[in-house]
Structure 1
Amino acid sequence: MRPHQPVANTPGANLANLTAHLPTTALRQSVAENFSKTVAELVQLVAIPGIAWDAFDAAQLERSSEAVAALIRSTGLDDVQILRVAKDDGGQGGPAIVARKAAAPGMPTVVLYAHHDVQPPGDSELWNSEPFTAVERDGRLYGRGAADDKAGIMAHVAAFRAITETLGDTFGIGVTFFIEGEEEAGSPTFATFLETHRELLAGDVIVVADSANWQVGVPALTTSLRGLVDGTVEVRVTSHAVHSGMFGGPILDAPTLMARLISTFHDDQGSVAIKGLHHGEAAAVDYEEEAFRADAGVLDGVKLAGMGSITSRLWTQPALSVIGMDIPSVEMSSNTLLASTRAKISLRLAPGQDPASAMEALEKHVVAHAPFGAQVSFTAGEAGQAFATDTHAPAAQAALWALGESWGVSAVETGMGGSIPFIADLKATYPHAQILVTGVEDPDSRAHSANESLHLGDFEKAIVAQTLLLAAINAGALGQPEKSGEPGEQKA
């Protein structure tokens, strides 16, 4: 268990007055009565291997989108569309589902985001059960996408179902479902999709259900995400490969020189040693080392890298990883001095860091540390902005209240070491919208890994929390809309 210091989130007087009159018992009961149906629907979604990568069957991704569209229609919504936009290369982007319930006059709109595509299953021998056959064991549901992010879809669907059944005609806020179909492939058409359907997707609050809770039994609102830049480094030594016995000694091969270059990315403590990168403030909560090592599967004897609290190293400091390298496998190796090699570098950025300046700093470092005069080049890749939530904003306060009310313990305001680059696109397109990053995962969910799973008890609590959030917004937690009527504008 991770010790935590929950950030106090007692609702203000106005929010407390609003929430005191909500039918919380009836809303909880509705979620509970439909929960077995919700899990059964999730099991059906897991069975569809919808993967947005070009190497996989696109027909399965279409099946997935149609299944999600049918689920949303089952809640009573008629305005349900499957939409796509073109990629830069002319191909079609992944199918996204957009469904809308119009807002009553003067009421705000909430956009509910999740994604229906999943990661490839990976090595089947590492799974304890079939990846696309959901299996319940010890209170957890195992299967690819069971947590990331088909449970996010079902949290949206189940919450909408519960609140419409309970509030009926008094449920006046607008709700827009936006279920993406290519998130695990990097959301290549996301910005274009927003531009094309800007008015269709406009809202006052955007709930992104693609993150994690602090631990089983303790909810969290993700209030910061690191940004991201990546690039490819190439080291060239000779014009062609040569025999290691005939030429080895005076010449160091390209992988060896690449290793020397990679070693300059961190100092002796393991902190990123690239000049010009921003470091943020320490987090308000910490992560016990023993728990972190267990959650991450760190082997005995391996020392942790960096300085400061573990949460600051995870959330508010830069982190650099080598995520790929062109080099023959051991089975394919020969006595050859390789002329060149490439490595893919991924650099996570602290909130407050400009991605363009970070990319420039990374390139400068690579060129300045060329080992033994080798020819070194850097090709910039993707770049994504970091994200930070204004936790004093009305929507965030309502979310913190709903999480605490559902779980019965105060929610933790956490950062996330990972990045969700499309959130920067959402913020740029809808600058007045309040973005909330929530989730159903926990430290043992193992998203993207073998034996991905969902804690069913916390899954039900997540649905209750989202139901309560929608009910609070319906009761006026955001205040009154601006008279200008601009999409997404609310008074604080």
Structure 2
Amino acid sequence: MSDISEYKAATNRIFDDVKNELTKLVTIPSVSSASRTEVEKSAGHLAQLFSNLGMETEVKTAPTPTGEEGMPAVIARKIVDPQSKTVLLYAHHDVQPAGPVERWNTEPFVATEKNGRLYGRGTSDDGAGVMVHYGALLALGDKCPVNVTCFIEGEEEIGSPSFRNFIEKYREDLAADAIIVCDSDNWRVGEPALTATLRGVASMDVKVKVMNTALHSGAFGGPVLDAVTVASLLLAKCFNPDGSLAVPGLGGSTSADVHYPEELFKADAQVVESFELAGKGDVAARLWNQPALCVIGWDQRSRAESANALVPETCLRLSLRTAPGTDSAECAQALSTFLKENAPFGAEVETEILECGPSYQAQSSEAEKDMKWALSAAWDKDAVDIGCGGAIPMTADLAQVFPQADILITGVEDPVTNAHSENESQDLGDLKNAITAEALFLARLGGQV
């Protein structure tokens, strides 16, 4: 094939097969935080799927830093010519829990097609990423001009604890000239993008103590503030009046390559009508290039267990998204220092940093130009560079272990995908275009187009 239209036609011919395979994959609840058995089932299913393409396929594991066996990953290889270039295609087959089933409009683990989208847990994150790789190879068939290795991870949704050990253990199997990480977003439905930056992530537990025991709120309340109130006051100190972070040393930029209108973002974020956005600068910069802080857990009594007593101590978990180009560990330490130095009313504040995932900034390369060309050709619309507010921490590990490889972050999600939330869905038109784009990239890398 030498004409772009031929690649689009090839994708059209195999797309029903791809959609059927994605539908099957969704039925496996491969929630890595809950069921190793289901993740193993998912890995076995995908190993067979890629084996059907004529690839040499294995299910492998590696130990975590604590010595436990990591979740199973699939490695599938097809060597066209040892002298040809090699591309590593990454995605993950584990998924998030469904969450409250009553908030879904469809069954979470039954793929349901409505209005051009496929609904179900993992339809997009990252089942669609897996299917982009499968579909591109299926469309190319025996005309793929480069060597290909598929690496389908099984624990991305729990922080990839064995990832670094895995890629070092199987370094020879995974070595490549270019790496495509298909686990990100497009700018909008019908508008392709290449992700150029990723925010990093750090999490920490914060313990606030004001007294040694719970006391009657009527007898002692007033002069003594309860720990939950004090913790809330401490959190408030982390923010400026406009909602931007007041913690020094976190860095960030107020500019971005694209403009994200506030009203459009509000609609995408589904905020209540009266809600005003926090921070300053273009929304794209706030979302992709500036740090963000949120509470993701809080140990506190439920209303059913409430009592008229001052809470003596409390513990909350914070998630800090760090700006591209900053060191996540240094940012976490800056936040920890700020919290301890700004304890309201002399409360005791202790912090424990739990994890630090690095940020990422892409480097310009010929492979990056080829991918933007392929995306633009597949969508018939110019691809743009975007950032990603979320983190893909293993991207930095790939860059360190395979420094010779160009890393390209693509994806099929969009602002209404609802990844990690109820009613997750995948736009089928974008999935089809993503398959065409990846096939075009592989062909261009091999000199076919």
TM-score by length of 1: 0.89
Mapped to 1, the partners of 2:204 and 2:213 lie a distance apart of: 24
For the residue of structure 2 that corresponds to 1:277, the secondary structure is coil
Cross-structure match for 1:35: 15
How do residues 275-290 of structure 1 correspond to structure 2 at under 5 angstroms?
275-280=248-253, 282-290=255-263
Counting only pairs closer than 5 Å after superposition, residues 119-158 of structure 1 correspond to structure 2 as 119-158=96-135
Of 419, 425, 438, the residue aligned with 2:397 is: 425
1:215/1:442 contact within 8 Å kept? yes
- Counterpart among 386, 411, 417 of residue 439 in structure 1: 411
Q: Which residue number in structure 1 is paired with residue 47 of structure 2?
A: 69
1:452 alignment partner AA: E
What is the CA distance between 1:86 and its match in structure 2? Answer: 2.0
Bigger CA drift: 189-198 or 258-267?
189-198
Question: Which one of the candidate residues 161, 165, 168 is aligned to 1:192?
Answer: 165
Q: Residue 31 of structure 2 aligns to which amino acid in structure 1?
A: I
Deviations 1:81-122 (A, max 9, x none): 000112344432111000111251432110000000000000
CA contact (8 A) 1:27 1:467 kept: yes
Alignment of 1:246-325 (within 5 A): 246-280=219-253, 282-325=255-298
Alignment check: 8 A CA contact 2:197 2:361 kept: yes
In the alignment, does 2:53 pair up with 1:80?
no
The whole-number CA distance in structure 1 between the counterparts of 2:59 and 2:381 is 39
Q: What is the distance in 2 between the residues matched to 1:222 and 1:142?
A: 24
C-alpha distance in 2 between matches for 1:37 and 1:337: 61
Taking the aligned partners of 2:215 and 2:303, their CA distance within structure 1 comes to 18
SS of 1:426 mapped into structure 2: helix
Partner of 1:332: 305
Give yes or no for contact 1:280–1:352 (8 Å, CA) kept in 2.
no
C-alpha distance in 2, partners of 1:86/1:432?
25
Q: CA deviation at 1:412?
A: 1.3
CA distance in 1, matches of 2:339, 2:46: 45
Alignment partners' CA distance in 1, 2:338 and 2:304: 33
SS for the counterpart of 1:404 is: helix
Q: Measure the CA separation in 2 of the matches of 1:431 and 1:300.
A: 47
Q: What SS class does the counterpart of residue 397 from structure 1 fall into?
A: helix
Find out whether 1:396 has 2:368 as its counterpart: yes
Give yes or no for contact 2:192–2:375 (8 Å, CA) kept in 1: yes
Question: 1:50: which partner in 2?
Answer: 30
Deviation at 1:172, TM superposition (A): 3.5
CA deviations over 1:380-426 (Å, ceiling 9, x no partner): 12111111112x30111000000000000101110011111111111
Deviation at 1:179, TM superposition (A): 0.1
197, 207, 213: which one aligns with 1:234:
207
The answer on whether the counterparts of 2:254 and 2:280 sit within 8 Å (CA) in structure 1 is no
Contact 2:54 2:78 in 1 (8 A): no
Distance in 2 between residues matched to 1:60 and 1:105, nearest whole Å: 36
Q: CA RMSD in A?
A: 1.3
The runs of 5 or more residues in structure 1 that have no matched partner are: 1-20, 478-492
- The residue correspondences of 1:364-375 to structure 2 (distance < 5 A) are 364-375=337-348
Task: Give the deviation of 1:215 after TM superposition.
Answer: 0.7
Q: Which residue matches 1:3?
A: none
Unaligned runs of 5+ in 2: none
Q: Distance in 2 between matches of 1:401 and 1:136?
A: 30
Question: Shift of the alpha carbon at 1:459?
Answer: 0.8
Contact 2:108 2:121 in 1 (8 A): yes
Equivalent position of 2:74 in the other structure = 97
Preserved CA contact (<8 Å) 2:182 2:410? yes
The residue aligned with 2:141 is 164
Q: Normalised by the size of structure 2, how large is the TM-score?
A: 0.98
Shift of 1:331: 2.1
Residue 281 of structure 1: how far off its partner (Å): 5.7
1:174 maps to which residue?
147
Q: Is residue 2:399 matched to residue 1:409?
A: no
User: C-alpha deviations, 1:333-370, integer Å up to 9, x for none?
Assistant: 11121111111111111111122321221111011101
Secondary structure of 2:303's aligned partner:
coil
Task: Work out the CA distance in 1 between the residues paired with 2:305 and 2:332.
Answer: 34
2:3 equivalent to 1:23: yes
2:412 is paired with a residue whose SS is strand
Check the 8 A contact 1:22/1:472 in 2, yes or no. no
Task: Tell me the distance in 1 between the aligned counterparts of 2:131 and 2:116.
Answer: 17
Compared with structure 1, are the counterparts of its residues 476 and 367 closer, same or farther at alpha carbon in structure 2 (3 Å cutoff)? farther
Match among 426, 444, 447 for residue 472 of structure 1 = 444
Amino acid at match of 1:234: K
Size of the aligned set, in residue pairs, is: 449
Name 2:193's counterpart in structure 1.
220
Instruction: Please report how far the alpha carbon of residue 476 of structure 1 lies from its aligned counterpart in structure 2 after TM superposition.
Output: 7.9
**Per-residue displacement from partner, 1:48-95 (whole Å, max 9, x unpaired)?**
001111xx2321111111111111011111x10000112344432111
